[in-house]
Structure 1
Amino acid sequence: MTVTTEHPVTADATGHPRRARLAFVSAMLILTAVFIGLGTWQVQRLFWKLALIARVEARIHTDPVPPPAPAQWGTVSTEKDEYRRVAATGTFEHHKSVLVQAVTERGGGFWLLTPLHLSDSSTVLVNRGFLPADRRDPAARAAGEIVAGPVTVTGLLRISEPGGAFLRSNDPANERWYSRDVAAIARAKGLGSVAPYFIDADATPNPGGLPVGGLTVIRFRNSHLVYALTWYGLAVMAAAATITLRRRLI
């Protein structure tokens, strides 16, 4: 008769295989490192966001400067230029204006975007301000919309908003705009050399009171500290679980 002897599987006091618990400890160690890395990344993002907020606060309170010229358009960026206070002088092309759907502190309505033709033959779109929904018809707002001759617009430089809004794409063919997409508006209106940004006009009153400028919302979502604390908390929990299991294996 042949007798076969099998090596028993090493188990801990609860009967679970030792190797499975070692694997679990290793997984917890990896998770701890991952959570610490994610928490540290969020701390870095927090300091980046605070620096961005400080830069923007400084920009909006400085004296206006000329907007970037065509030779500088390729270097315009959100981090470097957005919300910079600028002043541009030119002539409005009112017949090429577009209305972009907007929701503001004054309720729902539209932004009135009008091309401003500059002396260097380039064009920059100007968000002249907010129009209530009942002023969509040009005949209902002509007195305040039309500004003849050269005009100087002071406001904040904003970066183009391509594509449209959430679940709503811009429809140039039917004059339905949900975002201030500079390139798409330029194509739809047959504009020439157009800046890759637009200007949000300040609160300087327009004739007749409309459109209403100066409604730019400057707000930055900053939840990085909460995220960092969450990841670090998970790291502490994973480390505690690792230590507890490790002690049981010794």
Structure 2
Amino acid sequence: MRRFLFLLIFGLAGLGVLLSLGMWQVQRLAWKQGVLAEIENRISAEPVALPQQVSEDADKYLPVTISGDMEPGEIHVLVSVKQVGAGYRIIQSFSTDDRTILVDRGFVPTVAKLNERLTGPMEITGNLHWPDEIDSYTPEPDIDDNIWFARDVPNLAAALGAEPVLLIAQSETDPNVTPLPVDTAGIPNDHLQYAITWFGLALVWAAMTGYFLWRSRANSESDAT
């Protein structure tokens, strides 16, 4: 009987832990979905003028329309686009009346890396963004071949003589450059998979607990006879 009670208590405790972890992931899923919905609403809001004082915390994803001049000179950030392949994001400086910021114009394939692109007066609508693309595995830029491996906003700004403010274009700035607007597709949301994993483990645990309880009882009855 002691062994049976031990297995029962141990099994119920483990089942409770696994179920609580699954429920926690369900709660996290609801929270993450709310965060993503908020970001999507912010991305798709009506564009405003570029704020005089820009803050990453307050202005991330802010839709903005700017008018001015696309300056010559560009930086190429290596990127891969689904169903298209490798290419480059085209980053250039853009001057308004009183300031110069960075613009991510979009994607060109590798064969178009050295093609000329439109510069001069234009109006651009996009979203302010501070991409988090750098980790310990990110290579240093290949300055000689103008190949960067991440959108490192401060270093891009220093290289192009602009403020560390990046506008990712929604609107087209050149017929041969494909805009890659900001969206939530790259923001991880794996909580559903985690919840399924924990609930699956709970089901297996419950089955194993039931089996061992049955074996323990069967052995006890066998010993009694």
TM-score when normalising by structure 1: 0.68
Aligned equivalent of 1:125: 102
Mapping 1:60-79, distance limit 5 Å: 60-70=43-53, 72-76=54-58
Q: Is the Cα contact below 8 Å between 1:29 and 1:238 reproduced in 2? A: no
Aligned equivalent of 2:75: 98
RMSD: 3.3
Q: Does 1:42 align with 2:25?
A: yes
Amino acid at match of 2:167: I
Identity of aligned residues (%): 27
Aligned equivalent of 2:167: 199
Q: 1:183 to 1:243 in 2, by over 3 A?
A: same
Amino acid at match of 2:72: H
Q: Is the Cα contact below 8 Å between 1:130 and 1:211 reproduced in 2? A: yes
Render the CA deviation track for 1:129-160: whole Å, top value 9, x for unaligned: 222212222xxx22xx24224x3210133322
Structure 2 segments unaligned to the other structure (5+ residues)? 221-225
Q: Distance in 2 between matches of 1:41 and 1:89?
A: 47
Q: Is the Cα contact below 8 Å between 1:163 and 1:170 reproduced in 2? A: no
Q: Is the Cα contact below 8 Å between 2:78 and 2:148 reproduced in 1? A: yes
Aligned equivalent of 1:184: 155
Aligned equivalent of 1:224: 191
User: In the alignment, which of 106, 119, 126 is matched to residue 147 of structure 1?
Assistant: 119
Deviating above 6 A after TM superposition, structure 1's stretches of 4 or more consecutive aligned residues are: none
Render the CA deviation track for 1:203-225: whole Å, top value 9, x for unaligned: 4352xx22222565642554433
1:113 Cα deviation from its structure 2 partner:
0.4
Mapping 1:157-176, distance limit 5 Å: 157-163=128-134, 167-171=137-141, 173-174=143-144, 175-176=146-147
Q: Is the Cα contact below 8 Å between 1:115 and 1:124 reproduced in 2? A: yes
Render the CA deviation track for 1:80-108: whole Å, top value 9, x for unaligned: x33x422123333322x200112224432
Q: Distance in 2 between matches of 1:27 and 1:68?
A: 59
Render the CA deviation track for 1:1-54: whole Å, top value 9, x for unaligned: xxxxxxxxxxx7xxxxx66983x6555444323312321221122112322332
Matched residue pairs, number? 214
Of residues 34-43 and 232-241 in structure 1, the stretch that sits farther from structure 2 once superposed is 232-241
1:246 Cα deviation from its structure 2 partner:
5.6
* Residue aligned with 2:120, SS: coil
Q: 1:134 to 1:192 in 2, by over 3 A?
A: closer
TM-score when normalising by structure 2: 0.75
